[in-house]
A and B are shown apart, each in its own frame.
Chain A
Amino acid sequence: MLKNIAAVCLLAFAITPALAQGEKPEKVLKIISSLPRTGSANAQTTTMVNGIQLAIDEVNGKVGDYTIVYEDMDDASPQRGNWDPAVEAQNANKAARDESVIAYIGTFNSGASKISMPVLNKAGLLMISPAATYPGLTKPGKGEANEPKIYRPTGKINFFRVVPADDLQGFVAAEWAKDMGVKKVYILDDRELYGKGIANVFENHAKELGIEVLGREGIDPKASNFKSLATKIKAAAPDMVYFGGTTQNSAGQIAKDLHTANATPKFMVPDGCFEKAFIEAAGAENVNGSAYITFGGLPADKLTGRGAEFRANYKKKYNLKENEEPEGYAVYGYEACKVLLDAIPKAKTKDRAGILQAVSETKNYNGALGIWSFDENGDTTNTTMSGNTVENGEFKFVKALGK
């Protein structure tokens, strides 16, 4: 039995390079995206993939003499209904091995970036995330002590993001809560990298602003309901509950149970819940006028300049109705791909190293998200954020938030 397995493995190794060579005609640059396409993040990631495709179609799939090939990979598994560490690792390894791949657009979840970053760093492959916002991925001193070094085994920076990180989002969320007159808050998180991280930032800044933190705990995201927790929160009587987490990790059920228990009028969540699936999972009646959602950018209909052009082109290409808008992250998918395509002509050599170098030198880029640069950590210098609420089962922009 073991012998058979060994034989199959050997065979697989023997075939892989042959296939890779076979798939690599001249003058092709391949872009891969690795996003959770199975599961409730699907609506978000579909619009991100659409955004990427739109950016490629705008240049007719060609940059100079090079043909751009795009592959949309899924890092979720049906068993989890959510991103899966094993699948993300597979995607990263596959991309690293395929020499025609010059960029990896992803990931959606910060926890997934943690897995693929070291693999792609060793391969010297450029990675641009449209959505992973955990600060420790790029910023020294904002995460664990050994972050972000552990993600950069070669010491070089290969991970960039076009979305502002959570040290800003959690910060402005706390400011917004203060503006709304919140005095006492109860903080929950989903115990994932992203959710726990942003809840920490929120908690720290809330305390600095003099908001009393009545409680802080991690939930079990797969629990069937949170009624006991809602009772506990009701007894503590906060003005607001802040949940650091995503739709996939039961944000909707928490909103529902808090509402059912009459526990609190206000429920604030970060951008991991800025998707229609959140309202659908919670039931509109449980979030109308009571849910507050921060987002690391502006909703599509508030974008100006190139952003407004993007919105018009997107709506036309994907046949959206007059009252339909792309989901919040569509423009980030677009921007991640666009900044890459615009950097390729500047690259001295059209290979991984050359293109990585060209992207890292992006300064004062005039894109759909405004004029921005990549800083020394690979973060965007953009700090525009928005606060949204829910009205009649739809997201409604309240105001722009900024540092």
Chain B
Amino acid sequence: MIVSQAAVSESVAPVAMGWGDVLSQQLITGVSNGMIIAMIAIGYTMVYGIIELINFAHGDLCTLGSFLALTLVGALGMEAWAGMGGTAAVVTLLISSAVFCGALNWTIDRVAYRPLRGKPKLALLVSAIGCSFILVNIALFWGGLPMEVFGGGNQAAAPKDFPSLISNENLLGAKSAITVTWRDLFVVIVTVPLMIGLTWLVKSTRLGKAMRAVAQNPTAAALMGIDVNRVIGSTFLIGGALGGFASVIYALYNNTISFQMGYRTGMDAFTAAVLGGIGSLPGAVVGGIVIGLVRALSDGYIEARWTNSVVFGILILTLVFRPSGILGAKLREKV
């Protein structure tokens, strides 16, 4: 054991990094983080686009997705799945969390939001905040389950280590100053096709058409024979499923989950959605990547303590000059 440790510390001797290497590395980190934020931001923006609700529970929904993933890792002993089994493990996690979060998000809409449709918007918002609290507390309870992966359940609120199912090997070779790992690649490999798929769904399918119609005018859509509640339910299902994917990507990329992670990631994602133009799908993606990059560059070149101020400063400046966000549609009056 000691020999292998010595060997490891030998191989991790820091490689000298030029300023170009550092910048590239920061950009890689920024894009990876940004893509995760973007995936969650889509969930905010879809729901807002269709019922003008800021679904505060969305970030915490993702927390539950990653708790489910960790539970599965523990229950199925996925750390031992080697080789192709590792890929199978990741795919299993992605699909189960997506299904779980999609179904949960649909249920939340059915139980907590649907009865309030047509009532004042404030009631809906308060209901969303309530759901957020409920989900946080479920996560707190979940973290206390007596499982090995949850530290025996003695410390429900402690951050949980998420096993590295994806290799952290440098794809550019151990000698390279810049590190691009399977994890960075994994984030892109999963998120890009999902985003393309979603765009296709909204643009070209019957459901997508119905969603756009409901977003534009629910009453008219209903008169045209569209089942508005079903369409809204589907939006929650899809947004939740994307959140489920994001939660697994988050867990595998950061290797730590905690019951509070949804608050911060949710806040970042919501900011991204607003920055990109809330209601716009490409806007959420652009906003997410911008925030990821700004965070990375601010951490790297200014100081970590200023990062939040920089992010929100940029948000405010953007909104002053473009109130509807980077890619937001012109504000239209809804009557």
Query: Which residues from chain A sit less than 8 Å from chain B, CB to CB?
Result: 38-40, 42-43, 46, 78-79, 81, 191, 217-220, 222-229, 231-232, 234-235, 237, 247, 250, 252-253, 256, 260-265, 276-277, 280-283, 288-290, 392
Contact = CB atoms under 8 A, between A and B. Distances in A.
Interface in B283-326: 295-297, 299-301, 303-305, 307-308
Contact of B25 (A231, A283, A289): A231
B22 A235 contact: yes
B140 interface: yes
A229 B307 CA distance: 11
A225 B14 contact: no
B9 A280 contact: no
> How many B residues touch the partner, as a band?
35 or more
Contact of B255 (A234, A256, A290): A256
Consensus secondary structure, chain A interface = loop
Nearest to B2: A289
B256 to A, nearest CB: 5
A297 B181 CA distance: 41
A254 B1 CA distance: 24
Contact of B304 (A38, A218, A280, A290): A218
Given A78-B140, A217-B305, A283-B255, A227 B157 contact: no
B52 interface: no
A228 B256 contact: no
B56 to A, nearest CB: 14
A224 B158 contact: no
22 contacts: A39-B155, A43-B158, A78-B157, A81-B157, A81-B259, A217-B303, A217-B304, A223-B264, A223-B304, A227-B29, A228-B300, A231-B17, A232-B22, A234-B25, A252-B256, A253-B254, A260-B181, A262-B14, A277-B159, A280-B151, A281-B256, A283-B255
Interface in B12-27: 12-17, 19, 21-22, 25-26
Contact of A81 (B30, B260, B296, B307): B260
B157 A218 contact: no
Contacts of B161: 252, 280-283
A224 B254 CA distance: 7
Contacts of B204: none
B255 A222 contact: no
Nearest to B150: A280
B1 A39 contact: no
B33 interface: yes
A228 B158 contact: no
A217 B302 CA distance: 10
B299 A229 contact: yes
B160 interface: yes
A277 B151 contact: yes
Contacts of B30: 228
B29 A220 contact: no
Contacts of A281: 158-161, 256
B87 interface: no
Nearest to A46: B154
